Every structure is written in C-alpha cells, then in structure tokens.
A and B are shown apart, each in its own frame.
Chain A
Amino acid sequence: MAEEKRVVKSSLGARITHWSHTICWFILLFSGLLMVTDWFSWLAPVFGGVNGANLLHRIFAIVFAAVPLIGLIYNPRSFINWMKEALTWGKDEIKFMMMFPFDLIGIKVNMPPQDRINAGQKFNSLFFPTIGLFIGLSGVVMWFAESFPLWMVRIAYPIHDLCWILGTMQLMFHMYLGSLHPGSGESFWAMFGDGKVRASWAKHHHTKWYERVYGEEEEE
C-alpha cells in the first residue's frame, strides 16, 4: 500500500507552545501543590523542598508566560487566526456540542462536519488561554505582593486557585479526549509530532476544513 498523503493540522508555533505548556503546567501544578497543601509533601524531595518548589514555580512561570508571548510578537497573525477560528460558532458547532455526551460514552452518533478544530476544541481553545491570562496576572500580583494594593492581592489568591483548579479539571478531559478517546490518536501525534495528519482522517473528522484547504488539490 502506498504511503498515504498527510496534511498539516498543527503549525510549528502551536506545537512549540503546546509542548512548553504541557511541561510547564505539570511542573507548576505539582510545585504549587507542594506549597499549598501538605497532601503532597511526599513530592518535596523531587523539587528540593518547599523552597526549591517555590523557586522552580517562578522559573517555570516565566517560561509558561514567555513562550506564547514570544510567539505572539513573532507571529501575531497566527494567534489572531486561531482565536477567530475558536470564536466562529454556527449550527454545526452547537449540534456537535449537544451530541458530544453520546459520543463520550460510546454511543454512535453522526457528527455534523467540523472545521480544522471541532466545537469541543474551539471551547478548549478559548478556555485555556483565558485560564492562562488570569493565572498569569494573579501570579504576578502574588509574586510582587508588596507592590500592589491590598485588595488586589486579596483577590489574586482566590483567582489563582480557581484558575489552576478549573484548568486542571479541563485538562483531565483534554488529556483523555486528545489521546485515548477513540479516533483521537491521529491529532495527538500531530500535536506532539510533525503537525501532520493523514488526509483520510482529516476528511472524516474535520471535513469542512479539509474540503476548504485540500479539497481542490484532490480534484486536480
């Protein structure tokens, strides 16, 4: 069988940011948990004690914020286009979201045709940047607590906690749906690999996008 044609789904910038955020999120999560609750005191040796976790938390917070910011400066178009995609909602997106619970438990449903990112991924694409923004801003206030007014410091703590809790909550779904959920393997290896998916897979899962971008090519 001839090698099947592969098409680019995840850009290099998207993959770099995704890799960086995958690594940073877990380091930040566990170093943060070590500081915030004694349930995770068994992790202390990994981070060099609470003080080591404190330092690592700040170092990786800078990486966490810097990578997308550098990307934004280097190629703002890419980010704007991604946000435009994520904000475009029509009948097919709403239908997808309503049928999704059935797909999740394994009942076969005929999903409406989707764009490069499906409705669930669109939600995800809006959710995580929002979390990132607020966790970053509240983190700056917490880091330089003495330079900010007291009321700001006081709301920064609940915001920071709310962000990591809701972020990790969504991450549980995201990790599963993006890897082990039936049919997701292709885009998993695209995001963590060369960004490419097989054409037949793209046509089936992201019909609208495939037809728009690669459809004509096929006809030729």
Chain B
Amino acid sequence: MPNKGYLVDTSKCIGCRGCVVACKQWNQLPAERTSFKGTYQTVPDLTANNYTIVTFHEYEEDGQIKWYFTKRQCMHCLDPVCLKVCPQKAISKTDTGAVVRDREKCVGCQYCAAACPFHVPRYDKVNDKETKCSLCPERTAEGELPACVKACITGALQYGDRDQLLAIANKRVSELKAEYPNANVYGDKQAGGTNIIYVLADKPEKYGFEEDPKVSIAITAWQDIIQPYFPWLIALTGAVSVFSFFSTRLLGVGKEKAHEGEGIHG
C-alpha cells in the first residue's frame, strides 16, 4: 500500500476551523475552557482534547498587518521516533503509513511527547494516556476521508497518496512563487519526511514551524547506544563475580582466611 496522508495548502486556508470542530466531533473530545488572549487563535496549543488546532501568527511588515494561519497536528512521520521510544510498543504504523497508538497499551510515560521533533503528543492527565491525531484510520479504511479533510470547505485539505500530494504541492508552490517568493513545500524531507505535506506561502518559522526539525541527539544516543549495548555491562560484572567466586575457592584463598578465623560467613 502506498503512503497516504493529506496536503495542507495554507494559501487556500481561510482559518474557519471547521477541521478542528470535525476532529473533536469525530473523536468525541470534550470542549476546553480557554480565555481571550488578544489573538484570533482560540485554542492556544495542542492539548489532550485538541488533536488539531489552527494557529494564527500576525506580523507587521511594510506597514501592513500580515496574517499567517495553518493547521497543526501529528505529522505522521515516515520514520516516527515516537514509535521507536515507546517502551510498551503502543505506537505502530498502519499499512498506509498513519502513525497510530494503542490506547490499551499506553502507560502514560510520555517518552513519545519528549522525543517527537514536532512536539505533538500531549498527556491526558485524567486517563494517564498520551494522545495525538491518528489520521482517522477507522474512516480511511472504509474509504472515507479523515474527519478534518471531509470538513474543509475551501479545498485547503486534500487526502491522497503521498507521492501525488507532493507533486500537487510542488506545482502549487511554483504557481505561488510569483506572488509569494518564499513559498515552499514543508514535510517532504523534514524529520526524514512526513505523510502530512504543507504548502506554505512563506518561511516555516512565520507559521511557528521549525525550518529543519530533527530528533534530539540525546534521544538518538539513548535509543541507539545506551539501551541496546550498555546493559551488557551488568552481565559482564555479574560474570566476573561468578568467576571470582569459583577461582578464589579453587586457588584456596578462602581456606587460608578461614584458617585465620575469617571464614566466608564471618
């Protein structure tokens, strides 16, 4: 099965947040009380009850107010580090590349939240579980669109094969270049490539995205060096101790000391 994901074309997004509502409705997530912070953005950040949000960034450029909005959620990495760090093997990839979690297996250790280069998974304190967008595998398996894509009224969200989405994204960026010289495709190679592809009208940081998010060296060292190799040191000192137990007795040191009134058990 080819990798499937969706395209977020920010140049077509009008910030209606229909996708946010659809996501909450489909996943049966309760509303959260928020307060007005002087921005058009209603939900300040991803939370355990908000798998997706629309972010709004305002800048004053050339005496003009410029507004950048985009959708944020799990990027569904091609090589997801959350899957690698999960000690309970609760995270897996579906045959279309969606990164999904098994709620029953999750123990709420939050390793995935810290390891994720996009910092997406959020901790649900009430249920002691980690949460994130799953790309609606229960819908897509039945030939339905993910809830957010289904709700999008402007065509800013488009579900399909990753390869095709990339081709559409590149074409769209070349069209946008005339008006938006900094237009770019995001997600084609970030963190090793993601199944969610963005068309950004300006540099990623304008949208609050990192230009080149990478898995932290600490996480890589932990997973690739410390965990697989270091435990052998325990076996080594254990083996040396067992060896010493027998060799000291065979060579008679214990006997000699026992003679001095200093036997093994005192």
Point out residues on A near B: beta carbons under 8 Å.
35-38, 50-51, 54, 103-108, 142, 145-146, 150-151, 153-155, 157-158, 161-162, 165-166, 168-170, 172-173, 175-177, 180-186, 188-189, 197-198, 200-201, 204
Contact = CB atoms under 8 A, between A and B. Distances in A.
A209 to B, nearest CB: 17
Contacts of B29: none
B233 A165 contact: yes
B64 to A, nearest CB: 34
A158 B114 contact: no
B254 to A, nearest CB: 4
Contacts of B221: 158
Interface residues of B, number: 53
Contacts, number: 134
Contact of B226 (A104, A158, A184, A189): A158
Interface of B: 85, 87-89, 107-111, 113-115, 119, 123, 128, 216, 218-219, 221-222, 226-227, 230-231, 233-234, 236-238, 240-245, 247-254, 256-258, 260-266
A84 B158 CA distance: 68
Contacts of A104: 240, 244, 248
5 contacts: A103-B253, A161-B227, A166-B230, A172-B238, A201-B266
A157 B216 CA distance: 12
Contact of B248 (A106, A145, A155, A175): A106
Contact of B236 (A38, A169, A188): A169
A7 B70 CA distance: 75
B112 to A, nearest CB: 11
A107 B87 CA distance: 44
B251 A106 contact: yes
Contact of B262 (A106, A172, A201): A201
Given A106-B253, A182-B264, A157 B245 contact: no
A170 B237 contact: yes
Q: Which 10 A-B pairs have the closest CB atoms?
A: A176-B241, A106-B251, A185-B266, A106-B248, A158-B222, A182-B254, A172-B237, A186-B266, A153-B114, A169-B233
